[in-house]
Structure 1
């Protein structure tokens, strides 16, 4: 026992002499390593564990110590583990971020542009859109456009083009003229017929005539009168005439319009929606005028439908024209006011129809 104590006390001075030979940096690094290990051991929630910051600090400090000194320290982990931490730090600094498998995702702006071109051009397929994108500065593969359209539930093939009758009417609206006849019964139970034309593009209505008996000669003459009242530019713009299959629309009537280069399109039997614009105006005229007035005769009916046609063309708003009337569709928008006292009312058909306007 005495010999053991003498040996221990003899080794202490030798250890002190060895510490004197070491540099201050090595001793400071060893002290910091031991202190940080104590800090880790003091954590009790839930158990002592090394955080990424702890690993980085210990790896950096132990790098300052020699291999022999690292082996002599009482570490919570093995020196091999610390060296592995250091290798991870080096790899994280100099290794590029890992990218997942597959091609990189396309920019959101490109995806939005592809979908916009597909929705605004029904006949463009996945092979047509890439050509347009090249003109806009985007070089995109055909397969990429296909994938974008598929994910948006849009058929990539051009078969999705809408060839319905409604689409045709919308595309050709500026060159379409529709004609129809509707009847009104007078208070004396006499039936009168009104012949009118509607321009699809402007929604302008033109009353051609009112009669008790519609004949082929009468409606053919009314068609001539209509074309004579139009200027040459307006007449040349008529490309299609839509009419029903009534017996008074004969070859002579059609010849009046084919002579100016228009194509006559009869509607199919039992399909009034093919002449929907004209049918819509008949419904409006009945609800707002003729069904609310007792018509006494032909002259009275002509005054009523002419007055309503003027109201329709000059004032009545249309959703297809942006809530503007046919005559004001191309005019500048009225100024915005906040004074309701500047609004006046104008009566039509004896107060049956009201029109409102701003005071100048």
Structure 2
């Protein structure tokens, strides 16, 4: 609004001159104003004193200021409503939001930053980060190939390929590309008391056995016998068939013993195949101590249970099996990759075979250091909860 060159005192003085008998024409000529201006003054300030005129002027100024504040607030609210549903949390997103407010609402940079609550220096910042195109493409290719691997395991694979990149950079690219692995839900389980026992320190000291079930594309069910070395975390065997009896399990164990030597102890649950006469006879013949976990306590056989979870998550849930030969070939390929290529977090990101080599070459101290702090707590319990005693089962004929 254009400011008048006359003060309230001067305007009241002009009006009083007219009330004293001076003609309007003479007043306009004397003070250099037009007759419409005089009559506007008279309509606004007629009958008022100087103090009243000043108060009226201040009220008008305050009213105009409040109107401007209301208009600015309404504009800010409209701009913020336009940004609803958009995540404005990262510096890049804030720069985009500020540019949008300046373009859509004709705001200045200062006002846009005040509305968003950001610093102007962060909005003006120009990124100097090098291009990550090649690394980003390779990360997406690895994530597509191994869809159940997280950014830590993908980081190990990238370092193996020669990419000089740290974990936090891989994590940032992993999040930007929205490669996060979706967690599959599962029912909640009660957590009981766990009394840990000593972990195995050498290969073949303790094996774990368990079964995993799946089905072919034609609906036929099959089972997988999984055997794991609890020290090196190597997968020793994945045997698939429509049925696996105790005799078949004993035969597969004979084959493994011929390849690797005899274990000191084997841990398993109380399944019918593993408590059969065939398994008890095999344990008597070979002298292997067989430890049965407490019934209903799979957490006491935690190594094989953890392996079964990885097997199902990374292979069984991702693959359609068309026949038993196809299933056996796929399982063998995955077993070799698990032992030779897949980095294991509890082994200091070494592969199971690489960790076994460190033990066999006399680097047990290094292996223990790698495992310290990263190995999960052992889930097997003391001998009170399980049993090393062989059971005598009577054949029913």
TM-score, reference length from structure 2: 0.39
Normalised by the length of structure 1, the TM-score is 0.42
Q: Bigger relative contact order, structure 1 or 2, given CA contacts below 8 A and separation 6+?
A: 2
